[in-house]
Structure 1
Amino acid sequence: MKFNKSPLEGAYTIDLEKRGDERGFFARVFCENEFGAQGLETRFVQINNSSSAKRGTLRGMHFQLPPEGEVKVVRCIKGSLYDVIVDLRPDSPTFKQWFGAELSAENRRMMYVPRGFAHGFITLTDDAEAFYLVSAFYAPHEERGLRYNDPAIGIEWPIAPTEISEKDQNWPDLDVEFHGLERMKGLIR
């Protein structure tokens, strides 16, 4: 695997290193030793799969507060999506900054999302499917979300959303108390 630092502190895109011949190729998607050597999370307790029927489906911006904070490793296994992360750690040099990258079945790129980041994506094709590792169990009492078009963050989505859940439409703009930003301190490794 090739770990590419993103502009946000502690976040990466990960490209597969394919070994191939006339039959096709082989590549590792996860290796505890390789992730550990980068100082990244190596324990994952859930593997989630999401499917979106229509281009323009937006899901996000989601996260869980500590102590249930989660690391995600996201990959698109069908179609294409634009994956976005936002650093919500007040003591981070990249606090309130966002980063996005295209993940597709073709490029096989993955996004490493650290604890203390909001995460979401918009589908760039019909029938897009995301597959992701998660380091913490779902904890509804610690779930939070950030409005996808919060002007204080200024995410530049490559296309306008056409499908979005009521819940995701109604997350509030960044709010210190609601979003538990005090609890996000000390998450930088």
Structure 2
Amino acid sequence: MAGRLLLSYLKNSNRLSIRSYSHLQGPPINFKYGNREIVGFGMNGEPAYLDLEDFPMPAIRFKETTPDIQILKDKEKGDWKKLSIEDKKALYRASFRQTFAELNAPTGEWKSITGSVFFGLGIALWMYMFCRHYICPPLPDTFREEEQLAQLERMKLLNMNPIWGLNSKST
């Protein structure tokens, strides 16, 4: 009952407004972003240019619209057979920074990563050797094999922790 009263009060006083979700759809198509044209929704609905193989259609064009590109865009609206290959390439480069072949080309970045990993491993090895030589005390004599065998013989002579039962009779 109280909820109905509140709703009727809000409706009558024009305080309840219907929300518009148009802000979730992004800017309208053919809207100018700076001097670059927005041509689609984009990856997240934001006007950003990203060269991604997973998402090949960026939301905005790569280059700003200059008079030269505007002339090519006007020619583009006509017959494409009249456009030269250089014009088509210029139109492509106005919209995209790289082709798929350029995007997938090896960059040689693996070399710097591998070098960095080996450099880090070398530093870690030198730190280990430094700590082992200067910081850690020498191991006690009981870690040597001769001392451990002598200790085992002494334990047998003193009959320390003897084994009782069937297993002790096997040898």
The alignment's TM-score, normalised by the length of structure 2, stands at 0.22
Higher fraction of strand = 1
More helix, by proportion: 2
TM-score normalised to structure 1 length? 0.20
